[in-house]
Amino acid sequence: MTIFSRISTHRIAASKFAALLIASAFTLVAGVSSAQDLPITPAPEGAKVFIVSPQDGATVEKEFTVVFGLEGMGVAPAGIDFKDTGHHHLLVNQTDLPPAGKPMGNPPIHFGAGQTQTTLTLEPGTHTLQLIMGDKLHIPHEPPVVSSVITVTVK
Ligand SMILES: [Cu+2]
């Protein structure tokens, strides 16, 4: 199944976004090389991530927007050390969560600039979506802050 996705950048200057992506890539490489030494970020008490839209069971157009919801913690770009924050990661058609204790690879899709929505383009049929938060090093919090899985049908 081919999945096309693109990150919505309308609120971020392209150059700044590129710099953040590069910074994120370096963070990932640095993280992988010393995974055993990585600090684990505790999940803020009561933190909850969810998909605002589309709704579970919705039928959507081929190109559609996914809006991320977050309670009990804040959004910060990757690489930014700020208490009780993280950035969104979207799992599309994944049955397993990323492993705990190390930086997430790809999938999921990273929103390391702090984006709170994206536009997906998916093939007709049924697809699942799930969010997971990651800390400044793209590592899931402990315990992981994960949304319910929703299912959408693309026309
Ligand atoms: Cu990330």
Give the pTM. Answer: 0.78
CATH number of 3-154: 2.60.40.10
User: At CA 147, angle to CA 143 and CA 153, rounded to 5?
Assistant: 155
Domain boundaries, the chain: 3-154
Measured torsion, CA atoms of residues 95, 49, 135, 121, in degrees rounded to the nearest 10? 60
Distance in Å, CA 2 to ligand 1 centroid: 22
Ligand 1 is an ion; its neighbours by CB within 5 Å are: 110, 112, 134, 138
pLDDT for the residue 36: 64
Distance in Å, CA 137 to ligand 1 centroid: 7
- Tokens 């700020």 locate to 82
pLDDT for the residue 38: 87
Sort 14 into a burial class: Cβ within 10 Å, 0-12 / 13-18 / 19+: exposed
Distance in Å, CA 32 to ligand 1 centroid: 13
pLDDT for the residue 37: 78
Distance in Å, CA 119 to ligand 1 centroid: 17
The model's pLDDT over 64-91, given as tens digits with 9 standing for 90+, comes to 999 999 999 999 999 999 999 999 999 9
Distance in Å, CA 79 to ligand 1 centroid: 9
Low-confidence ranges of the chain (pLDDT < 50): 1-34
